Chain A
Amino acid sequence: MTIAVRFSAASCLGSAGEPLLAPLDVELPVGEALVLAGGGMSGKSAALAMCVGGLTPASGRVEVLGVEPSRLSAGPLNDLRRRIGYVPQRGGLLANLDLRANIALPLRFHLGADARATAAGIERVQALLGIEPLPALLPAEATLLMRQVASIARALVLGPELLLVDEPDSGLDGVAAEEIWRLLWRVQSTTGVTILASAANAAAASPLTARALTLVGRSDMAFRLIPGLA
């Protein structure tokens, strides 16, 4: 069994030295899906950030696709990132490009795809997701669901080996949130791509996978409801 992602007692600190993620031990085999669940400040996003070398483990190790991102220099780290599709919370799309241009950007940047190859790539990923062609809207003109779908499409357009998805249902209502998780399940079952996702609620992510790991962090310390108002 090949392991796509391995956290070995990996913990992470913030820029001010505050703990972002308590030591985490988990393995994600190739072709499977795993959801890291937990409230705010539990370290879900930090765990995903360590997988793309955005954060360095304070202790322990993180291995992704056979390498440790934190030990890579800029060139090899970019090569690794090309093999990973990353979907941030609420899209992270470029505001000055329309949805289709956002999806096309990795194709055009990494492969130098021309107009025809770009259109074919967008069509392929839309078919994979089972969605209608996305309209030529700027992200600010699109709904949050459209933005999230476009962001997932952008992450998939190069055919990644690993998909990292950070709370894809953040800000969506119940129906739209379920749609997003079903969409990810469809991608995973069709392509066999390994998916590491995060969610506030493991049950919400059940359409993707039943395999979830709940992280316990500082969410209970973040604030306390005033007794009587709760």
Chain B
Amino acid sequence: MRALAAIDLLGRRACELGVYLIDLAALAGLLLARLPRLRPVIREVLVRQVLFTGVQALPFTCFLALLSALVVVVQAQVQVTGLANPDLLGQALVLILVREFGPLIVAMVVIARSGGAIATELAAMTAEREIQTLAWSGIPPVEYLVVPRLAGVCLSLIGLTLLFVATALGAGFVLSVLLVPGAPDLSRFIDALGRNLGPIDGAVLLAKTLVPGLLIAGIACREGLGCRARATEVPRAATRAVVRSIAAVFVWDAAVTAVAFVAA
């Protein structure tokens, strides 16, 4: 009997996961369908979302990029004792920050700042029956509230990640000149970056920002709109959104790395 119950539970969870993924895919499809002809009022919501998720996160993202570059440079200095191979720094920065931790760190920043905020806002609107009023007034909440948030988070994540990468590489070079004896000069550093960066890095960076953007915003919107109309559901929705977004982004990140680099 216990085995049957376990199989039953497993099956139910798998079905729930399947429905969840279908919902997220439907939201992504809706975004693609609506994006080319956004109403002006929805464009305004999109701009506000980019302002909150992207622009206001710029200083913090740069700060994290600076610290990440410092960590890489110091570790390279300590572990490789003065960079016997000067090209190693460029390689380390590309491997660690551009391919792996850059997109992941920025995704965590966006989840912490915006994923929880979106879920909280929408759950509070659900609890206060604002969503119901919108729908009953002929304004589809998904079109007015979800589409601009999906687009805004995706655009912001892509922009912030590019900024993070640029800042980390720039800071990496400056810090290496300041801290590491025998560090490469600028031309050699750029040359090393060029040799370690390929077209696949662009594709991987896009995959590690576009899809996580959809996942973060989609999960936050689904949790916010899908909760029951009670004030006690608001913090629960926010917590679920943050935890599920982190899990989804890590799984996606690992999958992209496996496909792009291990398989290649």
A residues whose Cβ falls under 8 Å from a Cβ of B: 49, 52-54, 74, 78-82, 84-86, 88, 92-96, 105-106, 108-110, 112, 114, 154-155
CB neighbours (8 Å) of B138 from chain A are 78-82, 84, 106, 110
Q: Is the CB of A88 within 8 A of B129?
A: yes
Give the A-B pair count, Cβ closer than 8 A: 60
Cβ–Cβ contact B129 & A92, under 8 A: yes
> In the complex, which residue of chain B has the Cβ closest to the Cβ of A106?
B137
Instruction: Point out the residue from A53, A54, A79, A92 that lies within 8 Å of B130, measured CB to CB.
Output: A92
The CA of A154 and the CA of B138, in the complex, are separated in Å by 12
Residues of B in contact with A, size category:
10 to 19
Given contact pairs A94-B125, A95-B124, A95-B125, A109 touches B139 in the complex (Cβ within 8 A): yes
Across-interface contacts of B40 in A (CB, < 8 A): 108, 112, 114
Given contacts A109-B144, A110-B138, whether A88 and B132 have CB atoms under 8 Å apart is yes
On whether the beta carbons of B39 and A112 are closer than 8 Å, the reply is: yes
Across the interface, which residues of B come within 8 angstroms of A53, CB to CB? 136
Closest to A91 in B: B133
Given A78-B140, A86-B136, A155-B137, verify A105-B130 contact (CB < 8 Å): no
| Interchain CB contact under 8 A, A92 and B132 | yes
Q: B interface vs A, CB < 8 Å?
A: 39-41, 121, 124-125, 128-130, 132-140, 144
With a CB–CB cut-off of 8 A, which chain A residues contact B144? Answer: 109
In the assembly, what is the distance between CA of A86 and CA of B136, in Å? 7
Whether the pair A52, B139 counts as a contact (CB closer than 8 A) is: no
Q: Is the CB of A86 within 8 A of B137?
A: yes
- Chain B residues near A108 (CB, 8 Å)? 39-41
Task: Please give me the 4 A-B residue pairs with the lowest Cβ-Cβ distance, nearest first.
Answer: A92-B133, A81-B138, A108-B41, A82-B138
* Contact partners of A154 in chain B: CB under 8 A: 137
Check B136–A81 contact: CB distance below 8 A.
yes
Residues of A near B39 (CB, < 8 A) are 108-109, 112
Q: Is the interface of B mostly helix, strand, loop or mixed?
A: helix
Q: Is the CB of B133 within 8 A of A109?
A: no
A94-B130 contact given A86-B137, A109-B144, CB 8 Å threshold: yes
Q: With A and B bound together, what is the CA distance between A84 and B129 in angstroms?
A: 18
On chain B, the residues within 8 Å of A54 by CB distance are: 132, 135-136
With A and B bound together, what is the CA distance between A112 and B41 in angstroms?
7
For A109, list chain B residues within 8 Å (CB). 39, 41, 139, 144
Give chain B nearest CB distance to A3 CB in angstroms: 21
- Give B149 Cβ to nearest chain A Cβ, in Å: 13
Chain A residues within 8 Å of B41, by CB = 105, 108-109, 112
Known: A95-B124, A95-B125. A106 touches B132 (CB 8 A): no
Q: What chain A residues lie within 8 Å of B137 (beta carbons)?
A: 81, 85-86, 106, 154-155
Give the one of A96, A109, A155 with max B CB within 10 A: A109
Expressed in whole angstroms, the Cα–Cα distance for A56 and B135 within the complex equals: 15
Contact (Cβ within 8 A) A52 B125: no
Residue of A nearest to B134 (CB): A94
Contacts of B130 in A (CB 8 A): 92-95
Distance in angstroms between the alpha carbons of A53 and B39 in the assembled complex: 25
Q: How far is the CB of A88 from chain B (nearest CB, A)?
A: 5
Chain B residues with Cβ under 8 A from A84's Cβ? 138
What are 29 A-B interface contacts by the 8 Å CB criterion?
A53-B136, A54-B135, A54-B136, A81-B135, A81-B136, A84-B138, A85-B137, A86-B137, A88-B132, A92-B128, A93-B130, A94-B125, A94-B130, A94-B134, A95-B125, A95-B128, A95-B130, A96-B121, A105-B41, A106-B138, A106-B139, A108-B41, A109-B39, A110-B138, A110-B139, A112-B39, A112-B40, A112-B41, A154-B137
Asked if A86 and B133 sit within 8 Å, CB to CB, the answer is yes
Given contacts A95-B124, A95-B125, A109-B41, contact A88 B139 (CB under 8 A): no
Which A residue's beta carbon lies closest to that of B137? A86
